[in-house]
Amino acid sequence: MSDRVEKAVALFKSGYNCSQSVFAAYADIFGMDEKTALLVSAGLGGGVGRSREVCGTVSAAAMIAGLKYGAVDGGDSARKAECYAKVQEFIAEFKKVNPSIVCRELLGLDKDHKPVPKPEARTDEYYKKRPCVQIVEDSAKAVEKVLLKENEL
């Protein structure tokens, strides 16, 4: 594992959500300090606000793609297309080892699951029943393979 993949996993294990863990592990490459990275990505954990929709690690990767490939001119359709293509490439890589990009599906929850905003305590039992540590690792590896070059790490 690269140092940044290890950092993403360590952030998650220290209590940060999935999105924060992946995003903060790479944000400094783009000149963003860790505190800002943690704040910007805070609402995306648990499948966006614990709604169990798009996995927070996927949202983090999309933000990283935006930082690297995003358009700053609303009319720049070529740059938008490049960014979207990179996000789709990331998703394809992520799905090589995960069946979905939807949080509830990754966690094995049914579609009628009622999300609650309060996060669960990070206990040994939590880590036994949730695949999130592995998903954070998988996402960080896909970020590095698809979105970043070795010399950027």
Half-sphere exposure of 88 (CA within 13 A, CB side): 6
Mean pLDDT estimate for the chain: 95
The reported pLDDT for the residue numbered 1 is 79
The confidence band for 153, taking pLDDT boundaries of 50, 70 and 90, is confident
Model confidence pLDDT, tens digit, residues 1-25:
799 999 999 999 999 999 999 999 9
CA 121, 118, 95: angle at the middle one, nearest 5?
80
Average pLDDT over residues 78-98: 98
Residue by residue, what is the 3-state secondary structure of the chain? CCHHHHHHHHHHHCCCCHHHHHHHHHHHHHCCCHHHHHHHHHHHCCCCCCCCCECHHHHHHHHHHHHHHCCCCCCCHHHHHHHHHHHHHHHHHHCCCCCCCEHHHHHCCCCCCCCCCCCCCCCHHHHHHCCHHHHHHHHHHHHHHHHCCHHHC
Average pLDDT over residues 112-123: 90
The reported pLDDT for the residue numbered 103 is 97
The confidence band for 152, taking pLDDT boundaries of 50, 70 and 90, is confident
How large is the C-alpha radius of gyration of the chain? 15
The reported pLDDT for the residue numbered 87 is 98
- pTM flag (> 0.75): yes
Closest by Cα among 150, 151, 55 to 94: 55
Would you say residue 113 has pLDDT above 90?
Answer: no
The confidence band for 44, taking pLDDT boundaries of 50, 70 and 90, is very high
How far does Cα 152 stand from its chain's mean position? 18
The reported pLDDT for the residue numbered 111 is 84
